Chains A and B, each alone.
Chain A
Amino acid sequence: MNDDDFVRLENVAVTYGRDAAHSVAALDDTSLRIGRGDFIALVGPSGCGKSTILKLVGGLIPATRGYVYVAGRELGAEPVRIGVAFQNPTLLPWLRIRDNVMLPLKIVPPFRADYRAKKNSEFRDRADALLAQVGLAGFGDKYPWQLSGGMMQRASLCRALIHDPQLLLLDEPFGALDQFTREELWAIMQELWIARKPTVILVTHDLREAGYLANRIAVMRARPGRIIDDSVVPFARPRTMNMIYDPAFVTLTQRLRELIVEVRGDNVPRTRATTEAAA
């Protein structure tokens, strides 16, 4: 195998449900290679297994068939530092923002061993510096419910990055935000990625977001979940919001959009399609 592959899925299938009659094939015979320090976006209709891939790589669910390798070893064999951020900020409401951000340092080795000694000095400064980088300077002492949704999501990103993860798993982290906050966070995300170069898998519904942030975009289809297209995003970094209006960018997102609309049409039963249209 290629040494540059940081994440590799080999003929992986994931089936949910206890027995054959009720089982759902969330992911079917999927192979995917992601290079070290790469930034890949997974797009596709609902239920296509985007989040399933994320959970597989994060070790949250096992593969029913096939192999998942992270950092060149089978999953679990090598301690890989992973950071995650979901659509909900999932901050712990009883902790101040700073303590929320420092949570991974409390759990993950090698930081874990020094947590008690450094939580009021080095780790604290590290959290504050990261918070300042996402525009939350001075909010470390607040509680999550005192912040807006966008601010909580920024804090959630900080928590995902504080322990310098080699692998960053993002499941629609900007999905619930308003347009302008989202675009601002894209820029912050890009800066953080350029500075630290973790391997990133981003699950999103937003093609512009995928195009702005990712080096590669994989398109998936549902029932059974499969990757049907894998395109490189050729634009230079750092990218800007103006790039989104570049004809080449528009052509790319247009093509991906058509792909998704097409596979979506295939899979949605007629009756349900009509109901959805009515709704």
Chain B
Amino acid sequence: MSSELGRKFASAAFIVGLFLLWEILCIAFHVSDVILPRPSQVFVTLWQRAPALWPHTLQTLYTTLVGFALGVVIGVFIGVIIGWSKLAYDVAYPLLIGFSSVPKVAVVPILVLYLGSGTVPAIITALITCLFPVVVNVATGLATTEPELEDVMKALKATKFDILWNVGLPRTMPYFFASLKVAITLAFVGSVISETVASNRGIGTLMMIASANFDVPLVFAGVFILAALGVALYAIFSLVEGRVTGWAHRKTEFAMGA
């Protein structure tokens, strides 16, 4: 236990140390805050401009979470279908790969064309950015179910749905949760991209305006906010993952019924 505490402490110290180094280097080399603001300046900006930053933060969080939620629901649906049916897999997979290879920035102007600017394209961009990791992971989890496990179920005359419900889906949970951690960070990327291109609200918009005004500390404040939100959501899903799929990592806390 003490070694785990030690590791956490080392990790925190590393982050603080990095900020300190940044601060010191900026002072030592007289770096202008238009080029690279010091962390202390960024934190001061965060504090002083909080009333202005808050609505933008909420907007980005809102579009990200809605896009993420929709992406996960749709992703699981598609993933289950193509993971379960060999035919659907063969038919849909090449198309999915092609679609996921398209840079999402390239899609935003099209979305703006159809949906106008603002909240809706941000949500949709977040959705399509975070969709594919979920689809691929869920499909992989289902498709790699051990044939012997299925044989046990088939010998019991289990229906296809029985097998999916009792074996396929539980077995896919570790893959699913691993994909959620990737998907939530990608959803942020999608949201912010859309906000920088076409919106009048959100952290992305704020950063674009701030950079046009050479308000570099504010740009960095936006980056800090995005990083904090990303880390927080990643941590939440990590925690849920440990609770739900502890069996896959052989966690003793899981076995204790935590």
Q: Whose C-beta in chain B lies nearest to the C-beta of A80?
A: B157
CB <8 Å contact, B157 and A59:
yes
CB <8 Å contact, B151 and A82:
no
A103 touching B255 in the complex, CB below 8 Å, given contacts A90-B152, A93-B247: no
Of residues 122 to 175 in B, which have CB atoms within 8 Å of A's CB atoms?
A: 146, 148-149, 151-158, 162, 166-167, 170-171, 173
CB <8 Å contact, A146 and B248:
no
Cα A265 to Cα B254 with chains together (Å): 52
The interface residues of chain B lying within 8 Å CB-to-CB of A55 are: 151
The interface residues of chain A lying within 8 Å CB-to-CB of B170 are: 92, 94
Q: B30 at interface (Cβ–Cβ under 8 A)?
A: no
3 smallest CB-CB distances across A and B, nearest first, come from A84-B155, A94-B247, A58-B155
Q: A33 at interface (Cβ–Cβ under 8 A)?
A: no
Of residues 185 to 230 in A, which have CB atoms within 8 Å of B's CB atoms?
A: none
Q: B86 at interface (Cβ–Cβ under 8 A)?
A: no
Q: Which of B148, B155, B166, B247 contacts A88 (CB 8 A)?
A: B148
CB <8 Å contact, B250 and A107:
no
The interface residues of chain A lying within 8 Å CB-to-CB of B171 are: 92, 94
Chosen A-B contacts, 5 in total, with CB atoms closer than 8 Å, are: A83-B155, A103-B152, A107-B166, A143-B247, A145-B250
CB <8 Å contact, B255 and A107:
no
CB <8 Å contact, A92 and B156:
no
The interface residues of chain A lying within 8 Å CB-to-CB of B153 are: 107
The interface residues of chain A lying within 8 Å CB-to-CB of B154 are: 58-60
The size class of the interface chain A forms with chain B is: 20 to 34
Of residues 94 to 131 in B, which have CB atoms within 8 Å of A's CB atoms?
A: none
* B interface size (C-beta, 8 A): 23
Q: A65 at interface (Cβ–Cβ under 8 A)?
A: no
Cα A84 to Cα B151 with chains together (Å): 9
Cα A90 to Cα B162 with chains together (Å): 17
CB <8 Å contact, A59 and B155:
yes
Q: A108 at interface (Cβ–Cβ under 8 A)?
A: yes
Question: Scoring B residues 183 to 194 as 1 if CB is less than 8 Å from chain A, else 0, what string do you get?
Answer: 000000000000
Extra pairs beyond A90-B149, A94-B171, A107-B158 (13, CB < 8 Å): A55-B151, A60-B151, A86-B152, A90-B146, A90-B152, A94-B173, A94-B248, A107-B156, A107-B166, A143-B247, A145-B250, A146-B255, A169-B155
Cα A92 to Cα B153 with chains together (Å): 11
The interface residues of chain B lying within 8 Å CB-to-CB of A143 are: 247, 254-255
Cα A159 to Cα B166 with chains together (Å): 15
The interface residues of chain B lying within 8 Å CB-to-CB of A84 are: 151-152, 155-156
The interface residues of chain B lying within 8 Å CB-to-CB of A93 are: 247-248
Of residues 59 to 90 in A, which have CB atoms within 8 Å of B's CB atoms?
A: 59-60, 79, 82-84, 86, 88, 90
A82 touching B155 in the complex, CB below 8 Å, given contacts A107-B166, A142-B255: yes
CB <8 Å contact, B157 and A86:
no
Q: A106 at interface (Cβ–Cβ under 8 A)?
A: yes
Cα A59 to Cα B158 with chains together (Å): 12
* Chain B min CB distance to A56 (Å): 12
Cα A45 to Cα B116 with chains together (Å): 71
Q: A49 at interface (Cβ–Cβ under 8 A)?
A: no
The interface residues of chain B lying within 8 Å CB-to-CB of A44 are: none
Q: A173 at interface (Cβ–Cβ under 8 A)?
A: no
Cα A93 to Cα B148 with chains together (Å): 14
